[in-house]
Amino acid sequence: MTARSDTICALASGGLPAGVAVIRVSGPACFDAVRQMIGSLPEPRMASLRTIRAADGEFLDRGLVLVFPGPNSFTGEDCVELHLHGGRAVVNAALRSLAGFNGVRLAEAGEFSRRAFENGKMDLVEVEGLADLLSAETEMQRRLAGEQANGHLSAVYDEWREKLIFVRSMLEAELDFSDEGDIPGSLSDRVWADVAELKVQLDRAIGNLRAGEIIRDGFKVALAGLPNAGKSSLMNALAQRDVAIVTPIAGTTRDVVRCELDIDGYKFELFDTAGLRETEDLVEREGIRRAFRTINDADLILHLVDLSENSDAELMDFERPALRIGTKVDLMRDIPTEEAYDLHVSSATGEGLELLRERLLDAVRSHTQVESLAIPSRMRHAERLRLASQYLASALEGALLPLEIRAEELRLASVELARVTGRIDTETLLGKIFSEFCVGK
């Protein structure tokens, strides 16, 4: 059973083997444990080259030691980092030695970040941003995660909450302290325009959720069309590697094949689907059913038509946005000029692929046009913001209701905003009232 009073240790750097491995130790016993391994501790935040030994004195390694007394550390606790050579045996021996000291154990997944949150070093949004930053694969993912991990998105939420707290302080002052000489009357009449503007800002943020999800999780593109339309070949050409099996046999692709692309910093998820046709083959029919499910979930459909065989084929209609693409143009003597096609491409020669990448970029940018990347990208944020917006709407629409009820709706909205970041401070409202109006003098 874990306890916050435990001292924890773990590898904090990347996979092994590596040039350097960083072991982090955090908790009340970390200084004593490390002191027994290296002798005297170096000055705080000053890297010092030391010999690291096991509890029995056995030599383990020579490396840098950094000491971070709490609360000025990542976790807010006393913390030590050991920078060792990045061999598996070295790291495992050091961790075994550390975990052998009284009160020290190996950390659980995410436990350092959890302690940082519990000690007020990060809020929930920053923790989520840090997780996204560690897993970011594209430039836009890095930038989006950075806005959260660096507290920029939290600052937006906190600003909204501060505005609500001020409005509520006005209402509470009118309700409870109207007999005080320094409390002006009819304060509530001044605040509802501010509440309406705040609701507009919340709704705008909710509207930006899809943009955040696309940047964070990827823009979903489904390749659809008849069998042998060139879907698998186009996926391989865009990915520049063999992702899908390509044969001249119709119905080769029977399940959805997925790959990821990084185009100009945006993450794209490409889905190669089974050829769409009537068939009695049970396996192929299941593949086609999955293909339609993927198509219906896609942000964009690439509808492929084999120009060398089906230049006169009837084009399909999809409910989702689609680009109609004529494939295998290298096999055509005369390039067709039908307006029915948005693009003509050849996976064999690469003709039209660069233009297709530009069209994909245009599509993702049209879905992610935002003024700032300090936008929600998780459903958890959106759910809390939607509830807060609903409470604000109830307060605004309840002009005939008692002021106490409208103030309660604002309180509930404030609680929802606090739940986004994990900051719920019941004393903040009273602090606002006393500081603004000198109540209780």
Task: Give me the pLDDT at residue 319, please.
Answer: 83
Task: Give me the pLDDT at residue 325, please.
Answer: 92
Buried b or exposed e, range 273-307, using 16+ CB within 10 angstroms:
bbbbeebeeeebeebbebbeebbeebbbbbbbbbb
**Long-range Cβ pairs for the range 91-95 (8 Å, 24+):** 91/11, 91/16, 91/21, 91/23, 93/54, 93/60, 94/23, 94/52, 94/60, 94/61, 95/9, 95/10, 95/11, 95/23
The phi, psi pair for 132, rounded to 5°, reads -65, -35
Task: Give me the pLDDT at residue 187, please.
Answer: 59
Task: Give me the pLDDT at residue 309, please.
Answer: 75
Helix (H, G, I), strand (E, B) or coil at 221: strand
CA distance 78 to 58: 26
CB 160 within 8 A of CB 136: no
- Backbone torsion region of residue 396, taken as left when φ is above 0, otherwise alpha when ψ lies between -120 and 50, otherwise beta: alpha
Task: Give me the pLDDT at residue 324, please.
Answer: 92
Task: Give me the pLDDT at residue 244, please.
Answer: 63
Of 156, 213, 214, 133, the closest CA to residue 372 belongs to 156
Domains and CATH numbers, the chain: 7-117 (3.30.1360.120), 152-208+375-437 (1.20.120.430), 215-367 (3.40.50.300)
- Which is it for strands 300-306 and 219-225: parallel, antiparallel or unpaired? parallel
pLDDT tens for each residue of the chain, 441 residues long: 355 689 999 999 888 999 999 999 999 999 999 999 999 999 999 999 999 999 889 999 999 999 999 999 999 999 999 999 999 999 999 999 999 999 999 998 888 888 888 898 988 899 888 888 988 999 999 999 999 999 999 999 999 999 998 888 888 777 766 555 555 545 556 788 889 999 999 999 999 999 999 999 999 999 999 988 888 899 999 998 887 665 555 555 557 889 999 999 999 999 999 888 888 888 888 888 899 999 999 999 999 998 887 555 556 778 889 999 999 888 876 665 556 788 999 999 999 999 999 999 999 999 999 888 999 998 989 999 999 999 999 999 987 888 889 889 999 999 999 988 887 654 443 333 334 433 322
- The residue with tokens 């709490």 is 70
Q: Which H/E stretch holds residue 362?
A: helix 353-367
CB 271 within 8 A of CB 250: no
Q: Which residues sit opposite 49 in a β-bridge? A: 64
Does a cis peptide bond (omega within 30 degrees of 0) precede residue 69?
no
- The residue with tokens 């003709």 is 351
Tokens in use for 257? Answer: 């094949």
Tokens in use for 228? Answer: 């042998």
pTM: 0.82
The phi, psi pair for 436, rounded to 5°, reads -80, -35
Task: Give me the pLDDT at residue 311, please.
Answer: 52
CB 20 within 8 A of CB 62: no
Residue 394 CB neighbours (<10 A):
17
Residue 424 CB neighbours (<10 A):
12
CB 37 within 8 A of CB 62: no
CA distance 171 to 270: 53
